[in-house]
Amino acid sequence: MKQRSVWRRPWRWLVLIAVLTPGAMTAYILLTLPDVSGLGTKNPSSTAFMRYRQEEARGKGRTIAIRKEWVDFVRIPALLKEAVRITEDASFYWHKGIDFEEIKESLKRDLREKRFARGGSTITQQLAKNLFLSPGKNPLRKVREYFIARRLEKALSKDRIFTLYLNLIELGPGIFGVQAASRHYFGRDVFELSLEEIVRLTAVIPRPVTTDPRGSEGWLNWRCRMILDKLRLYEKIGEDEHQSLVGKFQ
């Protein structure tokens, strides 16, 4: 009797597809990753986030002007760099692009609250998203973000990654980078910002489009108090500086 081919059974095809799909998807992602080597010396003229915001505006029948102004890493106040690092990615200088402990905590909270409640993205991952991807929490996008972040870490120094991040981060409607944001909101260069202005600017990072750092809304005040507390905890500011400001954000 002629033996029946195992591949004529439909369920076996489903098993094969289930096994091969993740590998094929990973291979596709790896083959289509952007080349990041040029970022070591070249400052990007635009990012995926900038283009996304322009497309978003066009879809609503309007235009949006992109405001950005490059500033060298050494010109950015050390306290601003520390405020951003401590609040966004305290382990930035020690991990390799992915903070697995933070991801674990994010997953725990997401499962507990049954929603995407906590980000968990490192500075490198945020840069990967800003440069090459788009907003949202699509699982495939997160996979691409992971691989791009690892590639950035291999190609660039930590300070260069941080420089790109601080110059390209979205900090308001059409406003990208700490220098453009400083000029727009406070009328001065980033290296002239006061401690209060540094805290306010850092505070809007999670909600840059809907929050003005000069405001006094409850969420912004809470973020500013949290940043001040962390700066004091990490001994980046003294008790007197902490106390003189924290009362302003009640």
Q: pLDDT digit string (tens) for 72-88?
A: 999 999 999 999 999 99
Mean pLDDT to the nearest integer, 185-195: 98
User: What is the pLDDT at residue 100?
Assistant: 75
C-beta of residue 43 within 8 angstroms of C-beta of residue 167: yes
Average pLDDT, the chain: 87
- Alpha carbon 135 to chain centroid, angstroms: 10
**Segment among 1-15, 94-108, 124-138 with least mean pLDDT:** 1-15
User: What is the pLDDT at residue 243?
Assistant: 94
In angstroms, the CA 49 to CA 68 distance is 13
Q: Is 176 helix (H, G, I), strand (E, B) or coil?
A: strand
User: What is the pLDDT at residue 102?
Assistant: 64
Q: Is the pLDDT of residue 42 over 50?
A: yes
CATH no., domain 50-59+67-249? 1.10.3810.10
Helix and strand totals (H; E) in the chain: 11, 3
Helix 78-88 / helix 123-132 crossing angle, nearest 10 deg:
90
Q: Is the pLDDT of residue 8 over 60?
A: no
Which residues neighbour 157 within 8 Å (Cβ) at sequence distance 6 or greater? none
In angstroms, the CA 117 to CA 101 distance is 16
In angstroms, the CA 202 to CA 204 distance is 6
User: What is the pLDDT at residue 2?
Assistant: 47
Round the CA-based radius of gyration of the chain to a whole number and report it.
Answer: 22
